[in-house]
Chains A and B, each alone.
Chain A
Amino acid sequence: MKELKVLSIVVIFTLVLYWGVEPFAHSQMHKHVEFNGFAYNGKSDIEQLDEKIKKINEEITELKNSGGKDIKTKIADKEKELNELKAKLDDTKKFWAEINKVPKGGDAAAGKAAIAACVACHGIKSQGMKAPMDPNAAAAAYGVNPPDLSNAGALYDEKFLIAFLKSPTHAAHVKKLAMPGGLAGDDKNAANIVAYLKSIAPKEITPKEAFVTACGRCHANRYGKWTQIGDVPKTKSNIKTGQDIDALKFKEKVADYQGKLANYMGKLPPDLSIIIRARSEDFLKTFVEDPQSQLPGTAMPRVGLTKEGYEKVISYLEETGDPSKPKREATGPWVLGFFVIFSLLAYGWYKSQWKGLK
């Protein structure tokens, strides 16, 4: 039929248009970052260094070929940078080679005995160990509140944790981090502590708990009523004055914490209420796996989530940032069904009206 031909032309042009402004444009705007399935073995760290070394080498050859004035000092600067990068590459390779050698599965009982090294800074609520300091005091001391470790064994990758205890900056892939390395002693002892953390980890963790442990010390989530120092408390205002002093006091504490955190990180980490709609799935997963891969030089640490831990965090971000998803899925079929029936009836009407016209 002629009309279907016209329709197919319209549809084809529309699809081409869609392809150009969505998939094609996005493929051009965002760099491709490889996803490693939440395996932490230094692969992307080494690749990024290789990339940088390659670039500097190119710059040096370019400088040498250009033959301009004072290139000697410029080349010397670049070569110094190059040597630093090469040293860093060796160091990174060595670190991860050692980590990759640590056998899985430590002795939880031995780990329990060694945990005193940790509770000087961290709380483990599920084991009745309260945090030694409140968040504000902790931020004054370290710049950030050390997270409660009750759920750590369930959320973080085992190998990552061993690496983190050995050297937090290597594991988290950042320049500086407030927790010192080597607290656990040797690799074997670190594996024991990790085994202990795994042994106390609860079977079920809610999405919110996952978010609070992994991201909550740095990121607020105002739609989820979460601040970096805890949930926004329910407070009452004075009936006579209309002022809510407790709420103001809480706000002051948050502001104080955020100021210290911003000093520590160089900037205030963004609120993640609706980040699920502001970033693509692909960005979030590669970014959380290794923040440096998407934002080179960023102060956000690699937190070392396992796949399951990541999914928990994402489901919390969906709850706060895209809460209508279940309702959409429930309502959609009914509305579409309505219009299908509507169209069928309209088709009948159309056919009856046009009968005998042609």
Chain B
Amino acid sequence: MAHFDENARPFSNKWLDERIGINTLKRVLSTEYWIPKNINFLWAMGMVLAATFGMLLISGIFLLMYYIPDTKQAFDSVNYTIMSQVGYGWLWRHIHGVGASVVFLIIYIHMFTGIYYGSYKRGRELIWLSGMLLFVVFSAEAFSGYMLPWGQMSYWAGMVITNLFSGGSLHANGLVEWIRGDYIPGQAYLGRFFMLHVLLLPLVIIGLIVFHFGTLRLPHVNNKDGEEFDFAAEAEKYKAGNKKESKVIPFNPVFLSKDVFVMGIYFIFFFYLVFYHFEFAMDPVNFDPANGLKTPTHIYPEWYFLWSYEILRPFPTDPGLIAFAFAQVIFFALPFLDRSPNVAPANRRGIFKFWFWALLVDMIILTFMGKVPPVQPWSNIGLVAAVTFIALWILLPIITKLEKKL
């Protein structure tokens, strides 16, 4: 057995170090977790995401105290009890609603930062894959949460999305009913999505965040030039006092100080939305109680799902479902479809530069077209954008194969 000093004061540094290796932990996870100096605020988006998830978790816990997962009471438990009877209930709800929307904005910024700087390449594949898992589970978390107020959009978006599982001409209605626990969304449906939203999915998310952080530790984060260097050697320089020459800084406190500053600015933006501009995150249609007899004029998902919804919509049922499935998984394959060894910002990578901006603009167009009614000219624009999306991914291995080595 290891040596335990009898005289060490309980919970003192020494006492803790002998028991849980606190000094090693601190070194490995913070003071000697080396971060490249050559990075910008986009590298703070990961911590911004972690902080936003924290906000969602805390506000969610408060909402959970008063929410009632019953189809007859859910709507009023949220819109009346929480919004007007519980002290600051409205604040928790608006934080939760705005947080759920903004977290996707930051996730997309974070993803496109990774794509732009090539942060998914050799050595960092698992960071990318764990990130994509987070994206998928976050999507499920957002969707299940959207069911809970049991408004018109909860009900009808739930109807439309679960219908997708019938697989078009496969007519797998049994599967749809199995998911719903009923022929139509009802009590069983609400109960299970409630469970997923407040227990199972948050647990999975927390596990995945830990895993995502774990996958970062050995490869370290990328930098603005995609430069590869010897972290150990650079760290020695830093420790020896050559801070100017060294290419790295410790996460704590040096990089952390920047993270915290970026978070401060972010929270100004976040709470501005919470207090003065929350409507974009809380669809008006969902303030009409669920009514299975009255289909809303327009059914559309939240803005962060619109691009993939629009990949489904312009095609006939079966090809649409295949295109949709393609869109859901294709980002996972990015590290393997990009055949170029270059780790560099997209603007230095030849045709890939155009590929990057084309993908971004195409997804924004898809997002716009996913919300407007399916009439001309929007349907055609949506169709072209959906085909472009698929074509871009098919072209990716070819254009990256042709890319000159830098």
Q: Is the CB of B41 within 8 A of A6?
A: yes
- The stretch from B18-26, B138-146, B264-272, B321-329 touching chain A is B264-272
What are 15 A-B pairs at a CB distance below 8 A? A6-B42, A10-B109, A13-B360, A25-B368, A223-B80, A274-B287, A323-B90, A328-B94, A331-B91, A336-B275, A343-B261, A343-B264, A347-B261, A347-B264, A357-B243
Query: In whole angstroms, how far apart are the Cα atoms of A277 and B94 in the complex?
Result: 13
Query: In whole angstroms, how far apart are the Cα atoms of A28 and B274 in the complex?
Result: 26
Contact with A along B244-259 (1 / 0, CB 8 A): 1000010001100110
Query: In whole angstroms, how far apart are the Cα atoms of A6 and B40 in the complex?
Result: 9
Contacts of B350 in A (CB 8 A): none
Contacts of A21 in B (CB 8 A): 280, 303, 306, 367-368, 371
Q: Is the CB of B261 within 8 A of A350?
A: yes
Number of contact residues on A: which range applies? 35 or more
CB of B224, distance to nearest CB on chain A (Å) = 9
Contacts of B276 in A (CB 8 A): 328, 332
Given contacts A6-B41, A339-B271, A343-B268, contact A17 B254 (CB under 8 A): no
A239 within 8 A of B: no
Secondary structure class of chain B's binding surface, majority of residues: helix
| A21, A347, A349, A358: residue with the most chain B Cβ atoms closer than 10 Å | A21
Q: Is the CB of B364 within 8 A of A13?
A: yes
A16 within 8 A of B: yes
Restricting to B35-50, which residues have a CB under 8 Å from any CB of A? 37, 40-42
Contacts of A342 in B (CB 8 A): 264, 267
B402 within 8 A of A: no
Given contacts A332-B276, A358-B37, contact A349 B368 (CB under 8 A): no
Contacts of A270 in B (CB 8 A): 288
Contact with B along A19-32 (1 / 0, CB 8 A): 01110110011000
Contacts of A347 in B (CB 8 A): 261, 264
B260 within 8 A of A: yes
CB of B269, distance to nearest CB on chain A (Å) = 9
Q: How many A-B residue pairs have CB under 8 A?
A: 132
Q: Is the CB of B298 within 8 A of A324?
A: no
Given contacts A335-B271, A336-B268, A340-B268, contact A22 B83 (CB under 8 A): no
Q: Is the CB of B249 within 8 A of A357?
A: yes
A3 within 8 A of B: yes
Given contacts A21-B303, A323-B83, A336-B268, contact A350 B257 (CB under 8 A): yes
Which residues in B have some Cβ–Cβ distance to A below 8 Å?
Answer: 37, 40-42, 76, 79-80, 83-84, 90-91, 94, 105, 109, 243-244, 249, 253-254, 257-258, 260-261, 263-265, 267-268, 271-272, 274-276, 280, 282, 284-285, 287-288, 297-298, 303, 306, 360, 364, 367-368, 371-373, 378
Q: Is the CB of B37 within 8 A of A357?
A: yes
Contacts of B83 in A (CB 8 A): 323-324
Q: Is the CB of A29 within 8 A of B373?
A: yes
Q: Is the CB of A357 within 8 A of B254?
A: yes
Q: Is the CB of A279 within 8 A of B268?
A: no
> Shortest 7 CB-CB distances between A and B: which pairs?
A343-B264, A332-B275, A324-B90, A278-B287, A20-B368, A25-B371, A346-B261
CB of A165, distance to nearest CB on chain B (Å) = 35
Q: Is the CB of B272 within 8 A of A25?
A: no
Contacts of A16 in B (CB 8 A): 364
Q: Look across to chain A and name the residue whose beta carbon is closest to the beta carbon of B38.
A: A358
CB of A101, distance to nearest CB on chain B (Å) = 40
